Structure 1
Amino acid sequence: MNIESILIVGGGLAGFTVAQNLRSRGYAGRLDIIDPAGTPYDRPPLSKGYLLGDKDAAGIELAPASWFAEHQVGLVAATVDALDLEPLGVELSDGRKLRADRLVLATGGSARPLPIPGGDLDSVLVLRNREDADRLRSKIVPGMRLAIVGAGLIGAEVASSARQLGAEVTLVDPVDPPLVPAVGPELARRLHAMHADAGITVIHGSPVGIARTQAGHRLELADGQVVESDEVLVGIGIIPNTELAQAAGLETDNGVLVDANQRTSHPGVYAVGDMARTRRPNGTLLRRGEHWEYAMNTGATAAAAILEQELPVHGASWFWSDRHGTHVEGVGAMNGEGTTILRISAGEPVAAFRIAGDGRMLGAAAIDGGLTIKAARRIIDRGIVVKASALADPDMPLKKLAR
């Protein structure tokens, strides 16, 4: 079938990457991105530069308006109410119906609510989009009290930014320390300790209730502790936005199910980003990816598959985060079966490498060590076996071991 029109539902990084790759791969047909926000923008700065005021709305756009005009990518600022599978298309909230030869779902996820009394209060803050960031920023003034539930990547980044803005921050998480699966226990402990060093109150506990008070909010913990705050922010992960797909009859299971081509159970519909979940040929389901690079990779794969071109090969998964002036990166799987080798500098762990029994590197994480992670990714992707003593040596540049 000749593909003359493609609709992308969702204007985040995954949806934008699909459009970008379709054009770079030679697709010349009609191409539209549907998103109520209009121009696609990047989400990671929302908890950092945008929240701090270092970047404005234009500064986080994934491309300027001129790019969309030059590449003839239409931007439809509307909400999709329903997907139509026969004929293929969408129904918009304003009553319009748009048709296409292919649909790409890039609807992302919504903030996971706290399943406790008061967890659904409309005054409880979350951070998923620019409007959420604007609302949060308007609340943060010097001396205000902010309680953050969830000390993962988003919670930690917001805590750092809010502290820079002068807020009194309390960070609550039932896991001590968070991020162990991502960076290993040693780096996780060091990263978590940075909060207290920055003047943040860190509490290891499980919230059981949130209530509005005259002064703001009251957060109750399972051990009887009470946190009084002006505002409460919840950052405990996302729920994939699968409602449109489910209503249309597409297969879902904690995400829209896709194959290696990002194709859903309907041959004309693809799904990308953190709402897509891969089903292997044997029926097993992989975990959804919820990081920036995964959005890019799935978008690039979908574009190639739609055009029936060779699929791109992606390296080991990679993520990054920033807090308190420190940059952390990770690649591969730090929770795979094996042993951990640490690099120590000035008495502190600066990098950790997860090694399988046969000597292959499974994962790596580093604090302020971007070049180390770049080399580690090459080592993982190429299956290079490196001596443990060399990995542990802080004076040994990892790029020498990646050759």
Structure 2
Amino acid sequence: MTSPQRIVIIGSGLAGGSAAAALRERGYDGGVTIIGNDPNPPYELPALSKQILLGDAEEPDWVRPKEFWAEHDIELVSGATATAVRLGNRVVVDDKGTEHPYDRLLLATGSAPRSLPVPGADLDGLRTLRTLDDSRALRDLLTEGTKVVIVGAGWIGCEAAAAARKHGADVTVIDPLPLPLHRSMGDECAEVFRDLHAENGVSWRLGVGVEGFTGEGTVSGVRLAGGETLKADLVLVAVGAAPRLELAKAAGLELSDSVAGGGVDVDSALRTSAPDVCAAGDITAHYHPRYERRIRVEHWANAKDQGTHVAGTLLGETTPYTKTPYFFSDQYDLGMEVRGLANPFTDELVVRGDLKAREFTAFWLRAGKVLAAMNVNMWDDGEALQALVDGDMTVTADQLTGAELSSLV
């Protein structure tokens, strides 16, 4: 396969930025263009719902220093949106009408916050948290005594609740599920997070949906199923994100409905159904050799690692992407990491440590194999946990709770 003369990357987020940086670090000296609608250079997302929202940092972790892109002759087309991909003549068109020819193309369009299709969803004052500008604007509104209602008790909702409480806001979190983080954690571990937030002053409205938002021009309340209306100075809608698939669909790339939310079909090396077109990050329905099926992972590490890996694919390599999904969260005095992929409702839960003290490791087992592990406020066994999740060894619940974890690997 001949080396490409020009590579175009659609998406200036973590996946796209990581891919561009990795291309240069691999020695590629052809043209590289990144097209993205964010006015900022590529950055990592975790700080947006953590350090920046808490007021502990002003800037995120940049994918590379701001001067890196110009110094390495990477063209950043910021504040622009790709509107069409013409596969036949290998051209990307942006919203200014500019055409960007390519030899190889990377789609890294990421995700967009979901909205709620209810009355009042168009009122001013409804916030989402996806970009650096979102985070800074939201932080400035989190002041002492502000009535904040958060719709959605997933990771963003819970981290935003913790930040809002640090700033002294009056926080209520709504979710139709019976527990926060329920789909990710199952019952027992989700109860840990429910109690953590309650102890820190968060009011829960769990097991109840939102019927609409109230207000005259600007949101002033949230109406729940059953009729209760919560007063609100600020509403954060944190009900998940949807992959941005519009460009891929319009271009005729194969899409998958076998993963939640859909995705762009890519093989184990992150190649799409079109020659010379790859995809990385939130939008990929990636065939993962370990799981022998397609998976779609929205977490930060996946975007970063797939972006780095796909640089090799863009240059003609066919090495499979095999990394295990990884995620971390910080809420109040609780820090945690999750490695792996499990079903908390069907896989066996084994807990090592003390749930009530919030110092424990949770394992999810299937047929004696560790599919996923979560360490909460315990930091000494990371390598062993990674090996247990990545390896193919068979273990028992008694071994996981009683033995030195390093001895099992």
Q: TM-score, normalised by structure 1?
A: 0.91
User: Which residue number in structure 2 is paired with residue 101 of structure 1?
Assistant: 103
Give the C-alpha shift of residue 15 in structure 1.
0.7
CA 1:224–1:46: 2 relative to 1, 3 Å? same
Instruction: Say yes or no: does 1:32 pair with 2:33.
Output: yes
* Cα distance in 2 for residues equivalent to 1:217 and 1:206: 17
- Tell me the C-alpha RMSD between the 2 structures: 2.3
Q: Which amino acid aligns with 1:318?
A: Y
Separation of aligned partners in 2, 1:313 and 1:2: 21
SS of 2:43's partner is coil
Alpha carbons 1:7, 1:100 under 8 Å: kept: yes
Alignment partner for residue 119 of structure 1, among 105, 118, 121? 121
Match of 1:398? 405
Going from structure 1 to structure 2, the CA distance change for 1:176 and 1:372 (only over 3 Å counts) comes to farther
Change (3 A) 1:209 1:98: same
Conservation of the 8 A alpha-carbon contact between 1:329 and 1:370: no
Structure-1 residue corresponding to 2:67:
66
Contact 2:85 2:93 in 1 (8 A): yes
Q: 1:90 to 1:137 in 2, by over 3 A?
A: same
Q: What is the alpha-carbon distance in structure 2 between the residues aligned to residue 132 and residue 346 of structure 1?
A: 34
String of CA shifts for 1:163-213, please: whole Å, max 9, x gaps. 111111101111122324433422211112111111111111211111115
Distance 1:308 1:323 in 2: 42
* CA shift for structure 1 position 354: 1.4
- Give CA-to-partner distance per residue, 1:138-179, whole Å, 9 cap, x none: 322211111001011000000000111111110111112232
Partner of 1:366: 375
Distance 2:398 2:337 in 1: 22
Matches for 1:321-400 after TM superposition, within 5 Å:
321-335=329-343, 337-345=346-354, 347-348=356-357, 350-357=360-367, 359-393=368-402, 396-400=403-407
Aligned positions of 1:3-402 closer than 5 A: 3-36=4-37, 37-57=39-59, 59-77=60-78, 78-204=80-206, 205-213=208-216, 216-253=219-256, 254-278=262-286, 286-311=294-319, 313-335=321-343, 337-345=346-354, 347-348=356-357, 350-357=360-367, 359-393=368-402, 396-402=403-409
Q: CA deviation at 1:320?
A: 0.8
Asked if 1 retains the 8 angstrom alpha-carbon contact of 2:192 and 2:355, the reply is no
User: For the residues of structure 1 that align with 2:408 and 2:310, how far apart are their CA atoms?
Assistant: 34
Q: Distance in 2 between matches of 1:382 and 1:214?
A: 56
Report if aligned partners of 1:372, 1:397 keep a CA contact under 8 Å in 2. Answer: no
SS in 2 for 1:161: helix
CA distance in 1, matches of 2:51, 2:356: 31
| Residues 184 and 375 of structure 1, relative CA distance in 2, 3 Å threshold | farther
TM-superposed CA distance for 1:266, in Å, is: 1.3
Pick closer, same or farther for the CA change 1:335–1:14 going to 2, 3 Å. same
Aligned counterparts of 1:186 and 1:112: Cα–Cα separation in 2: 27
Tell whether the 8 Å contact from 1:211 to 1:218 is kept in structure 2 after alignment: yes
Whole-angstrom CA distance in 2 between matches of 1:73 and 1:63 = 12
In 2: Cα distance, 1:144 partner to 1:280 partner: 45
Contact 1:183 / 1:352 at 8 angstroms: preserved in 2? no
SS in structure 1 at match of 2:165? helix
CA distance in 2, matches of 1:353, 1:152: 20
Deviates more, 1:287-296 or 1:210-219: 210-219
- Residues 168, 200 of structure 1: 8 Å contact kept: yes
1:387 and 1:252, CA in 2 relative to 1: closer, same or farther beyond 3 A?
closer
Alpha-carbon separation, structure 1, partners of 2:385 and 2:61? 29
Distance 1:333 1:79, change over 3 A: closer
Aligned partner of 2:83: which letter? Answer: D
Percent of pairs with identical residues: 36
**What is the deviation of 1:226?**
1.9
Question: Could you tell me how far 1:122 is from its partner in structure 2?
Answer: 4.0
- Tell me the secondary structure at the aligned position of residue 127 of structure 2: coil
Structure 2: which amino acid aligns with 1:243? Answer: E
Could you tell me how far apart the structure 1 residues matched to 2:364 and 2:106 are?
36
Residues 365, 373 of structure 1: 8 Å contact kept: no
* Normalised TM-score (structure 2): 0.90
CA contact under 8 A between 1:144 and 1:167: conserved in structure 2?
A: yes
Distance 1:366 1:176, change over 3 A: farther
Give the distance between the partners of 1:391 and 1:220, measured in 2 at CA. Answer: 46
Residues 46-100 of structure 1, C-alpha deviation per residue, up to 9 Å, x if partnerless?
111112232223x432211232234322211122222222321211222221111
For structure 1, the residue ranges without an aligned partner over 5 or more in a row are: none
Task: Supply the distance in 1 between the matched residues of 2:311 and 2:218 (Cα, whole angstroms).
Answer: 51
**Number of residue pairs the alignment of both structures matches:** 396
Whole-angstrom CA distance in 1 between matches of 2:131 and 2:228? 31
Q: 1:214 to 1:201 in 2, by over 3 A?
A: farther
Alpha-carbon distance in 2 for matches of 1:365, 1:289: 17
